[in-house]
Every structure is written in C-alpha cells, then in structure tokens.
Amino acid sequence: MTGLIESRLAAIGINLPTPAAPAANYVPYVVSRGMLYISGQIPVGQQGLEFVGAVGDAFGIDDGRAAAKLCAINILAQARAALGDLDRVARVVKLVGFVQSAPGFTDQPKVVNGASDFFVEVFGDKGRHARSAVGVSGLPFGVAVEVEAIFEID
C-alpha cells in the first residue's frame, strides 16, 4: 500500500529518483536520536546535472526556485532511502539553502522558497520549517543551488 506522502507526490506528478551517491567523503544521511539529517543535495534531474551557473546572471529567480525544488525532490529521495517510508517524517525541522549568487544578487530567500514551498505542499503544516538562505560565490559542480535538510522522524 502506498503511504500518504507517496500518494501526495504522485498526485502532483513527482516520481522520486534513485538517490545520488555521495560525491566526496561523507554519507548522504544520518539518523540519530529521532532526527534525520540529509546532506546537501544539488539539482540533479533525469538528464543529469541541471542549473549550472549563478542566479542573477545565468538564471533568474524563477529558474533558481526550480533548482531549489529539484534539490528538495532529491532530499526526499534520500529520506525515503533512509526511512523506507516517508510517512515516518513527523516534521520538516530546518532547511539550509545555498544559492550561487551573481555579485549584488540579494534575493536568496525567494530562490530557496522553491524548496520551502514544495515541502509545505507535500507535508502540509508538518512541512513548515526554520530556514537559512545563504548567498555564496560558488557551489559544487558550479550548480546554482544546494539544499540540506533536518527532519524529525517517528
């Protein structure tokens, strides 16, 4: 039987991908004391790496939001791998979003809303979370956005 969260994802047309393997010396997630910590996820889609470049230069806010949403989809793929069932997520506790920003770009919160809005759409009120949105000069593989997450789990 498909769980509630998997059903919501299907209803909005989201099929979670196979989680990406780590690109360096770290693990993709850690479960500890009722919490699930997901390492930073980048915008890897069906065709591979997407959204390479800086927001405010190569991409506008809408593209940045799409990149952040893709990161959030990859976060859920890692969460499903860690938990087996996304219905075990009791709450999205915190997101940290990093936005590769062109000089003078200051709308990082609008970009990271792509991930935040997605989690609220999928989890409802349990998807509301604390958050940081940080502008940086570069990210791994040159991507526009990277997002990490912390979940409370049952």
Question: Is residue 15 assigned to a domain?
Answer: no
61 vs 82: CA distance, rounded Å? 31
pLDDT above 90 as % of the chain: 98
82 vs 19: CA distance, rounded Å? 10
What CATH number is associated with residue 105? 3.30.1330.40
pLDDT at 3 over 60: yes
Classify residue 51 as left (phi > 0), alpha (psi -120 to 50) or beta: left
pLDDT at 80 over 80: yes
- Residue 103 confidence (pLDDT): 98
Question: Is residue 59 assigned to a domain?
Answer: yes
Question: Is residue 3 assigned to a domain?
Answer: no
Question: Is residue 13 assigned to a domain?
Answer: no
- Residue 1 confidence (pLDDT): 52
Question: Is residue 149 assigned to a domain?
Answer: yes
Question: Is residue 61 assigned to a domain?
Answer: yes
pLDDT at 68 over 80: yes
Per the structure, the complete domain to which residue 75 belongs is given by 37-153
- Residue 51 confidence (pLDDT): 98
Q: How many domains does the chain have?
A: 1
Taking CA atoms, 106 is separated from 48, 68, 117, 118, 135, in Å, by 28, 16, 19, 22, 8
- Residue 59 confidence (pLDDT): 97
Question: Is residue 122 assigned to a domain?
Answer: yes
- Residue 2 confidence (pLDDT): 76
